[in-house]
């Protein structure tokens, strides 16, 4: 029977399905649950999906609406009864389909919206507890004025400005350097409603001032609290933290998969999409703005406030996310010499971007550092403060594009490297992102070669349960690292990643696409198939870890160091990596294991620090101007170093701190071919 490729985002699952299979059934085969409560009768609408059209070079497919069966009578009737939904979402019939009704007749890329997902993605970007000195950019002042009369018919703004000058001096003291009333400014949107507000408030108002120079909100009566949001826009996930600007209290944290995944899993594929499609940038920009507005609304509801009470946002992201957010075309980021549109930090009105907070509110975007070292790295530096240390710290934000910073108070150097989505579950045969049903930990017994594993949403190891059936859907990033490390540690694969074909174990076998090790038998899974780690999966991890290690080694070499004093793993994914196993496969440089730390979402924490303390914005502006940027492609020895790093843990480096785990390790004779 004819088969076609179906790709499901944002889960990243893909596979070949028989022609005529319904999209919902195909998704289920691939371990992606799509909601439905109407027994597939086209009446509940819970299974809506979006069909993406165009050429997707990364996947080598042409996705078209015509590759699905035509919209049927019941399906069309359901959608036509909901014109408001279609208008709000900007969807058209044919673009949006009921997955239970449409069948696959060609290659197709499908976006499963958040509300249709049965197994919700787990976004691991929680905020950490940090002591932050509160010095926000937004301050509130109570201003009471005399109403105008014929003797003193002063204009409303000038009357407010004079009263505001008095209030500011009462709060800050007469010695403070503050603008005079005639130097104060008012945002145009705020000015439009000023006269009405002053009169309704009987000339007693609370004034919100940005950086003690611009009035951005005027509220009747006395209001004490101000609100702001810090956002980390990652290639894979978006995390938003709503804060009280007066107290620093975290009021709500919301997160979601980055909707741009539909257009490409890594930054280069999104740049390519923007270049190849005339409306590519518009789609990418609209997708992230829509998601940010959704998260803002959710956070405001959680905190029992209105979104227009949010007066400032601080946003960070890698250089590509930064450009797409600001609606700057990322074309030149993807072409040599890889130049961004701007490095310095940006302040822009919320209404300019369509962000649904107070329209006069300020959006602050932290500075970028290099072509692919963006505002998220600036935020990571701000959170971890390597520029204030005597030791040499290596900071690594692990993701589809890894950013690295090495240094101390005297000097910082940075670089970036694409690691691809394999570390997060994509491009691995049964890989998936973190969600219920995904393996998250794997251990293999070195004698019996039998595995045990942990599954998200299930307590304990699978071996702790008398009967363990139908629980597993796939393998997420942390378990992929574990699996490859365990295969190497137990001798199932050698240092070059090749399977040992002589082992007496039914789990080591030759599959359809080469040798593999079966972690879960079909009866243990919910997809009805064995879940192995294949030779190709091992190869994908070798390429990803070699890229990351080579970037780290290059920075260390430029610093004249063999090893860093401390390795800090940042990012949601980095926090869930087993540091010993990461070192065992050579993902990170050798170091005392007690000096390897996971710090969670440092970029999100840095954004929160910049939101709550304006002095930190000035600090990171100054620090980033001094960071040395190094582009890996300019290193003539990069290719040789990369080849050396493809072995586990490395072709030539000793890795003394994990040597006890691989006592029979011998030198690789191929190393001499790549050492100059």
pLDDT, tens digit, for every residue of 18-48? 999 999 989 888 878 887 766 677 877 888 9
Superfamily of domain 227-364: Domain of unknown function (DUF4445) (3.30.420.480)
Residue 121: pLDDT over 60: no
pLDDT number for residue 124: 53
Please state whether the peptide bond connecting residue 649 to the residue before it is cis, i.e. omega within 30 degrees of 0.
Answer: yes
What pLDDT was estimated at residue 281? 96
Q: pLDDT band at residue 175, thresholds of 50, 70 and 90?
A: confident
pLDDT at 122: 52
The pLDDT value given to residue 425: 62
3-116 shares its CATH topology with 227-364: no
Residue that the structure tokens 């509130």 belong to: 140
pLDDT at 114 over 80: no
| Pair type for strands 438-444 and 596-598 | unpaired
Range 138-220: architecture per CATH = Roll (3.10)
Please give the pLDDT value at position 250: 94
- Residue 404's pLDDT band (boundaries 50, 70, 90)? very high
Helix %, strand %, coil % of the chain (to 5): 35, 25, 40
- What is the phi/psi pair of residue 399, to 5°? -170, -165
Q: Which two tokens stand for residue 133?
A: 């000195």
Q: State the pLDDT at residue 674.
A: 86
Quick check: 437 pLDDT over 60?
Answer: yes
Asked whether residue 123 carries a pLDDT value surpassing 60, the answer given is no
Handedness of CA 89, 92, 93, 97 (dihedral sign): negative
Is the model more confident about 527 or about 370?
370
DSSP character at residue 538: H
Q: Tell me the per-residue pLDDT of 578-634, one tens digit each, with 9 for 90 and over.
A: 999 999 999 999 999 999 999 988 999 999 999 999 999 999 999 999 999 888 878
The structural domains of the chain, with segments of one domain joined by +, span 3-116, 138-220, 227-364, 378-421+541-668, 423-535
Confidence (pLDDT) at 163: 94
Q: What is the pLDDT of residue 39?
A: 67
Selection from 550, 564, 560 nearest residue 406 by Cα: 564
SS3 592: coil
- How far is 129 from 71, CA to CA, in rounded Å? 51
pLDDT band, residue 338 (cuts 50/70/90): confident
Asked if residues 608 and 230 have their Cβ atoms less than 8 Å apart, the reply is yes
In angstroms, the CA 88 to CA 82 distance is 10
Beta bridge partners of 451: 444
- Residue 95, burial from CB neighbour count under 10 angstroms (0-12, 13-18, 19+): middle
In the prediction, which pLDDT does 141 show? 95
User: What is the pLDDT, as a whole number, of residue 301?
Assistant: 97
What percent of the chain shows pLDDT beyond 70?
97
Is 676 in contact with 637 (CB distance < 8 Å)?
yes
Pick the CATH number of 3-116 from 3.40.50.1820, 3.40.50.150, 3.10.20.30, 3.40.50.720: 3.10.20.30
pLDDT at residue 305 greater than cutoff 60: yes
**CA separation (Å) from 356 to 186, 311, 360, 510, 514?**
20, 10, 10, 55, 52
Answer yes or no: are the C-beta atoms of 566 and 595 closer than 8 Å.
yes
Per-residue confidence band for 635, with pLDDT thresholds at 50, 70 and 90: confident
For the segment 240-264, the average pLDDT, to the nearest whole number, is: 92
| Residue-level pLDDT at 672 | 85
Calpha distance 512→509 (Å, rounded): 10
Q: What is the model's pLDDT at position 421?
A: 67
Q: Which of 25-39, 122-136, 220-234, 627-641 has the lowest mean pLDDT?
A: 122-136
pLDDT value of residue 632? 83
Measure the CA–CA gap between 132 and 201, rounded to whole angstroms: 35
Q: Is the pLDDT of residue 389 over 90?
A: yes
User: Which residues fall within 8 angstroms of residue 552, CB to CB, at 6 or more apart?
Assistant: 394, 396, 404, 406, 588, 589
Across the range 294-322, mean pLDDT stands at: 97
For 229-249, what is the mean pLDDT? 94
Burial of 338 (0-12, 13-18, 19+ CB in 10 A): middle
Query: What pLDDT sits at residue 422?
Result: 66
Question: Taking a C-beta distance cutoff of 8 angstroms, is the pair 530, 516 a contact?
Answer: no
Residue 120 has pLDDT above 70, yes or no: no
Q: Is the pLDDT of residue 125 over 60?
A: no
Q: How far apart, in Å, are the Cα atoms of 489 and each of 444, 448, 495, 615? A: 9, 13, 9, 48
CA dist 126 and 598 (Å) reads: 13
């Amino acid at each position: 029977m004819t088969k076609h490729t179906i790709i499901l985002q944002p889960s990243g699952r893909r596979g070949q399905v028989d022609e005529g299979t319904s999209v919902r059934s195909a998704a289920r085969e691939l371990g992606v649950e799509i909601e439905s409560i109407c027994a597939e009768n086209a009446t509940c609408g819970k299974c809506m999906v979006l069909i993406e059209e165009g050429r997707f070079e990364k996947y080598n497919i042409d996705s078209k609406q015509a590759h699905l069966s035509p919209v049927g009578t019941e399906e069309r009737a359901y959608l036509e009864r909901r014109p408001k939904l279609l208008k709000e979402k900007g969807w058209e019939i044919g673009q949006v389909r009921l997955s239970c009704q449409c069948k696959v007749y060609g290659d197709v890329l499908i976006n499963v919206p958040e509300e249709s997902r049965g197994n919700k993605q787990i976004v691991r970007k929680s905020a950490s507890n940090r002591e932050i000195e509160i010095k926000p950019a937004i301050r509130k002042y109570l201003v009471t004025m005399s109403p105008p009369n014929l003797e003193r018919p002063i204009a409303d703004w000038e009357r407010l400005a004079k009263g505001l000058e008095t209030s500011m001096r009462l709060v800050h003291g007469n010695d403070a350097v503050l603008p005079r009333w005639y130097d104060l400014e008012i945002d145009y949107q705020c000015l439009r409603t000023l006269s009405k507000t002053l009169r309704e408030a009987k000339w007693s108002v609370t004034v919100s001032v940005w950086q003690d120079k611009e009035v951005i909100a005027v509220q009747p009566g006395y209001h004490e609290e101000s609100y702001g949001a810090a956002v980390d826009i990652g290639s894979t996930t978006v995390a938003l933290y709503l804060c009280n600007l007066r107290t620093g209290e975290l009021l709500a944290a919301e997160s979601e998969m980055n909707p741009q995944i539909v257009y490409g899993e890594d930054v280069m594929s999104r740049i390519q999409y923007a270049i190849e499609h005339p409306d590519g940038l518009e789609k990418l920009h609209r997708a992230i703005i829509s998601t940010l507005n959704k998260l803002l609304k959710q956070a405001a509801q959680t905190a029992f406030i209105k979104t227009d009470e949010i007066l400032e946002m601080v946003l960070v992201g890698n250089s590509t996310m930064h450009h797409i957010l600001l609606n700057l075309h990322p074309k030149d980021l993807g072409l040599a010499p890889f130049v961004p549109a701007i490095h310095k930090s940006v302040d822009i009105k919320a209404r300019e971007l369509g962000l649904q907070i107070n329209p006069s509110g300020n959006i602050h975007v932290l500075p970028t550092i290099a072509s692919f070292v963006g505002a998220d790295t600036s935020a990571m530096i701000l959170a971890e403060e390597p520029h204030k240390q005597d030791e040499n710290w290596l900071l690594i934000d692990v993701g589809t594009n890894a950013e690295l910073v090495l240094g101390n108070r005297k000097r910082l150097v940075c670089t970036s490297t694409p690691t691809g989505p394999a570390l997060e579950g994509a491009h691995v045969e049964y890989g998936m992102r973190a969600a219920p049903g995904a393996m998250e930990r794997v251990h293999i017994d070195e004698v019996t070669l039998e595995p045990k594993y942990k599954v998200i949403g299930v307590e304990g190891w699978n071996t702790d349960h008398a009967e363990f059936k139908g629980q597993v859907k796939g393998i997420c990033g942390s378990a992929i690292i574990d699996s490859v490390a365990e295969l190497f540690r137990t001798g199932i694969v050698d240092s070059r990643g090749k399977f040992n074909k002589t082992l007496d174990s039914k789990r080591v076998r030759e599959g359809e696409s080469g040798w593999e090790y079966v972690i879960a038998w079909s009866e243990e899974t919910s997809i009805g198939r064995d879940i192995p780690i294949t030779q190709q999966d091992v190869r994908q991890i070798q390429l990803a870890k070699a890229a990351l290690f080579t970037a780290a080694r290059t920075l260390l070499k430029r610093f004249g160091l063999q090893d860093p004093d401390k390795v800090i793993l940042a990012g949601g994914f980095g926090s869930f990596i087993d540091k010993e196993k990461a070192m065992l496969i050579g993902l990170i440089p050798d170091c005392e294991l007690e000096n390897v730390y996971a710090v969670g979402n440092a970029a999100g924490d840095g954004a929160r620090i910049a939101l709550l303390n304006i002095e930190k914005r000035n600090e990171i502006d100054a620090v980033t101007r001094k960071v040395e940027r190094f582009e890996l492609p300019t290193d003539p020895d990069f290719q040789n170093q990369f080849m050396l790093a493809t072995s586990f843990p490395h072709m030539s480096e000793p890795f003394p701190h994990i040597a006890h785990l691989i006592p029979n390790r011998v030198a690789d004779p191929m190393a001499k071919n790549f050492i100059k």
